[in-house]
Structure 1
Amino acid sequence: MPAALFRGHGGVMVLELSATLQGRLTRWAQAGYPRECCGLLLGRVNDGVVHVDDVLQARNANAERAGDRYELDAQDFLRADAQARARQLDVVGVWHTHPDHPARPSATDRAHAWDGWSYLILAVGAQGVDALRSWRLDGEEFVEEAVRP
């Protein structure tokens, strides 16, 4: 889908993520530190807003570089996709952590990104989660989405 379909009012892209789901992600990020954690966002896109109804954990299949890379476990992805379909939802994005690194997409994130999905990144350190930001691929570059509860 063209990125323009995901633009909300005034050209701003919006990801709606409840405080409850943000709290769940924060707990998972802290529990997984100092490894990168990852998972999927389930929901739907309506009127240019990505509504996240649920967040799921996935195993990081990148055991060699788990401190600074993630690779969604294929079986976990298939289970999440089946769960989304059963609930009449879609997989609308991926979440992952950046241990001791800002919540901005890396070159590796860009190389593996898919058009049309949100990429929610949690910056996590020894003191906890510092930031939670979402991004969407727009052509060759990431554009930040506003995150609101």
Structure 2
Amino acid sequence: MKLKISPTAFAEMQKHAEATYPNECCGFFYGKDGEIRNIEVAKIVTNSKEGDQRRRFEVSPLDYLKAERYADEIGQTLLGIYHSHPEHPAIPSEHDLKQAVPFFSYIIISVMKGKTEVTKSWQLDDAGKFEEEEIL
């Protein structure tokens, strides 16, 4: 899968990741699905993880429901979740794998010393392992 992220959505994700540093941030992104996923909107979600949020994020079931409703409201498709990895690479963790669902794209933003360093996207393959997606 290939992703094309609008400059506005990409900037919003990066700004959110840097603003929540040293904690992990999370949010949803929306757009049009096809051979290339065109991401047009990013929407911040509160990290509902109790306790230390520097290494984990959680999205509540209510936030998933709200995300689906929002997609309907704006006439877009909910394509996935973005989150940050403070002081870690933009590679999925075991926790990320356990939380992942098929068909979603997972954008991970590596934030080092408060600044975005690398952004990568991942999707589960048929074997249930993450495969990197190309960001155009």
Measure the CA separation in 2 of the matches of 1:141 and 1:74.
Answer: 23
CA distance in 1 between counterparts of 2:108 and 2:7 reads 16
Aligned pairs (5 A) from 1:1-149? 13-46=1-34, 48-138=35-125, 139-148=127-136
Return the alpha-carbon distance in structure 2 between the equivalents of residues 133 and 102 of structure 1.
9
The answer as to whether partners of 1:34 and 1:125 remain within 8 angstroms in 2 is no
Paired with 2:42 and 2:92, the residues of 1 have a C-alpha distance of 19
- Structure 2 portions without partners, runs of 5+: none
- Greater CA radius of gyration, 1 or 2? 1
Contact 1:58–1:77 (Cα < 8 Å) also in 2: no
Query: Greater shift after overlay, 83-92 or 24-33?
Result: 83-92
Structure 1 moving runs of 4+ over 4 Å: none
Q: Which amino acid aligns with 2:7?
A: A
- Structure 1 length as normaliser, TM-score? 0.86
- TM-score, normalised by the number of residues in structure 2: 0.93
Q: Give the RMSD, CA atoms, in angstroms.
A: 1.2
1:5 counterpart residue number: none
Matched residues, percent identical?
Answer: 31
Number of equivalenced pairs:
135
Letter of the 1:59 counterpart: T
The one-character-per-residue Cα deviations of 1:3-22 (angstroms, maximum 9, x if unpaired) are xxxxxxxxxx2011022211
Q: Which runs of 5+ in 1 are unaligned?
A: 1-12
2:22–2:114 contact (8 Å) kept in structure 1:
no
Deviation at 1:80, TM superposition (A): 2.0
